[in-house]
Amino acid sequence: MGKVMSMVARKANRFNVENRAHRVLEREKPMPAPKYESNLRDMERTLELDPKFVDKLNIKDDGLNTRLKDVYVTSEDQFIERVIKRQAATAASEEKQERPLPLERTTPDDFEYGYLEPERVAHGRCTLRQALQFINDHQLDPETYTASKIANDYKLKQDHLENILYYFKTFSVYIPDQKYKDTLLTRAKQELLERKTSPEDAESSKP
């Protein structure tokens, strides 16, 4: 229902719209928009101060018109000229000499820890290499490499270092002995074979 009413209202608004527009344009003066009370009060105060204010607005001021004709704007920006000169110089240099190819074409090696380590380390800080070193030392020999000794050697705060040693550990790689592994597998296979070939199992398997 609402859609039907909107279609009817739209057609009613567009009915004879061209003739109505011409009638509005043929009027001598268009109907002014309503003014707010604040605008009316401002206009009253302006007329009290200058009763001829409306007449001044309707009269052309020759002095203002003359001064407006004397106003002009000039631009002294040389950006475009500098760009053109730079492009011309670049083209001329490319014509004179070609860019030399690099002498070394090998790919640079990656850093060990993925970043370039600083040559100087501030007090209270350490690099990743140093952290792995003293964590590993403490993990292998905690009595010799104590927290106080490492803090003095690397100039770190002892409480921070104790937290590092407590929460971070290095990985330990365990490689089993292949011979021992083969022996265990062999023993297991032997026991399995013995169970399958035992006479008790053979009798129990008969119907």
pLDDT digits (tens, 9 = 90+) for 123-148: 889 999 999 999 999 998 989 999 99
**Residue 190 located in a structural domain:** no
The arithmetic mean of pLDDT across residues 145-170, rounded, is 91
**Residue 145 located in a structural domain:** yes
Top pLDDT among 126 and 57 is at 126
**Residue 55 located in a structural domain:** yes
**Residue 122 located in a structural domain:** no
The region of weakest confidence among 44-53, 95-104, 129-138 is 95-104
Top pLDDT among 151 and 184 is at 151
Percent of the chain scored above 70 by pLDDT? 78
pLDDT over 50 at 207, yes or no: no
**Residue 63 located in a structural domain:** yes
**Residue 120 located in a structural domain:** no
**Residue 77 located in a structural domain:** yes
Instruction: State the pLDDT at residue 134.
Output: 93
pLDDT over 90 at 102, yes or no: no
Top pLDDT among 103 and 203 is at 103
The reported pTM is 0.37
Instruction: State the pLDDT at residue 189.
Output: 65
pLDDT over 90 at 206, yes or no: no
Rounded distance between C-alpha atoms, residue 118 and residue 1, angstroms: 77
Instruction: State the pLDDT at residue 136.
Output: 92
The region of weakest confidence among 54-63, 88-97, 105-114 is 88-97
**Residue 18 located in a structural domain:** no
Domain count, the chain: 2
* pLDDT tier for residue 190 given thresholds of 50, 70 and 90: low
For the chain, what is the mean pLDDT?
79
State the residue range of the domain holding 132.
Answer: 128-167
Long-range contact set of residues 152-158: C-beta below 8 Å, sequence gap at least 24: 154/126, 154/130, 155/123, 155/124, 156/124, 156/125, 156/126, 157/124
